[in-house]
Amino acid sequence: MGEDLERLKQRIPLLEYLQRHNWKPCRAGSRQELVGLCPLHQETCPSFYVNTGKNLFYCHGCGRGGDLIRFVQLFFDLSFRQTVALLEQELLPAPVSQLLEQTAAFYQLQLHYHPEATRYLDHRGLHDPALIEELGIGYAPGGNLRSHLAALGYSFDLLLNTGLLNGHGRDAFCRRVIFPCCEHCRVVNLYGRAIGAAFPHRLLPRSKGGLFAWESVRTFSTVILVEGLFDLAVLWQAGFRNTTCAIGTQLTPAQLTQLADQPDRTVYLVFDQDENQAGQKASHQLALRLQDAGLAARIVQLPHGYDPNGYFVGGATVADFTECLERAQPL
């Protein structure tokens, strides 16, 4: 294990990894030392040091430091095991991303054979076939994924390790509507929403990647951020193509970096208006984080008890939602 980790770190130099995630050194401290803004916390004065000789980082602002694995763990908010798995997969990107791609394509095809899935989409307010196609939405009926992927030559172990199959060898996404999560045109994870009584949300045990559909949303200077993919889907359907989603209310530092890539951006937070105020609290905390990152944040209030999906399903129009956006006040 220790030797494998050393090899992993040697094959992906820390500096190269940071630069792949848009880190720019501002100046050199010494021959082997570079300094720049910390990707792990908000700052205006560079205090993030990278020693390229030792492959280590240290931030004098947030006091965190370590090697590549530590950095990835903090940046994507992953466990140690998930981090090692993610880096290993980055080293052999073709087979796993190909596997996820083929799985997503298979699920997408299944959607058309299973009326319970299209009925579910309809019930969640998603009617536009072109949009369903564009988002790559699929359905996992259960019972046929394993044989399909085995026929394509994927080993049982790989399917288990990626989490597509559970310990019993069954489709882990059984009876779920599937959204592929893509990054740089590659499928990096799959999100499955249960249509039955199972726990509603499921992702593969790997990074969910950056913000959903960020490649197309990043061109907007005003962005709408929602909690769930069904919120995003109905908003896109209504024409709000500047909507993105973090799948949940917590943003990883990587996702925050994406939002901050345009300094004058305004972010409208439209989280669930739930009884226990969890959504409201999360929006408030996130709005403060966004402001620290130099962005303008506005918290959008929907009528009580609604999330954006439920609001549209309940009959809200584009004009209603626009009015909610216009009413949103800066903090």
Check binding of 295 to Zn ion (CB under 5 A).
Answer: no
- We find the least distance from the C-beta atom of residue 58 to Zn ion, in angstroms, to be 9
Q: Using CB under 5 A, which of the segments 52-60, 98-106, 203-211, 290-298 binds Zn ion? A: 52-60
Name the one range near Zn ion by CB under 5 A: 54-62, 103-111, 265-273, 299-307: 54-62
Q: Cα separation of 323 and 317, whole Å?
A: 10
Region binding Zn ion by CB under 5 A among candidate stretches 9-17, 56-64, 97-105, 293-301: 56-64
Instruction: Please tell me the count of residues contacting Zn ion according to CB under 5 A.
Output: 6
For Zn ion, the closer CB: 41 or 175: 41
Which amino acid appears at position 243 of this protein? T
Nearer to Zn ion by Cβ, of 294 and 305: the residue is 294
According to CB under 5 A, which residues from 9 to 48 bind Zn ion?
38, 40-41
| Euclidean distance between CA atoms 326 and 53, whole angstroms | 52
Three-state DSSP class for 122? helix
The pair phi, psi for residue 305, each rounded to 5°, is 85, 0
Residue 3, classified by CB atoms within 10 Å of its CB into exposed (0-12), middle (13-18) or buried (19+), is: exposed
Sign of CA dihedral 4, 8, 14, 15: positive
Strands (E), the chain: 25-30, 33-36, 48-51, 56-59, 65-66, 138-140, 176-183, 186-194, 201-203, 222-226, 243-245, 266-270, 296-299, 329-330
Minimum CB distance to Zn ion smaller for 60 or for 241: 60
Query: Does 74 participate in binding Zn ion (rule CB under 5 A)?
Result: no
C-alpha separations of 178 from 142, 191, 202 in Å: 12, 6, 9
Near Zn ion by CB under 5 A: residue from 13, 61, 205, 248: 61
Which of 56, 62, 160, 328 is the binder for Zn ion (CB under 5 A)?
62
Please state the closest distance from residue 24 (CB atom) to Zn ion, in A.
15
Q: Output the smallest distance, CB 36 to Zn ion, in A.
A: 11
CB of 59 to Zn ion, least distance (A): 3
Residues forming contacts to Zn ion in the complex (CB under 5 A) are: 38, 40-41, 59, 61-62
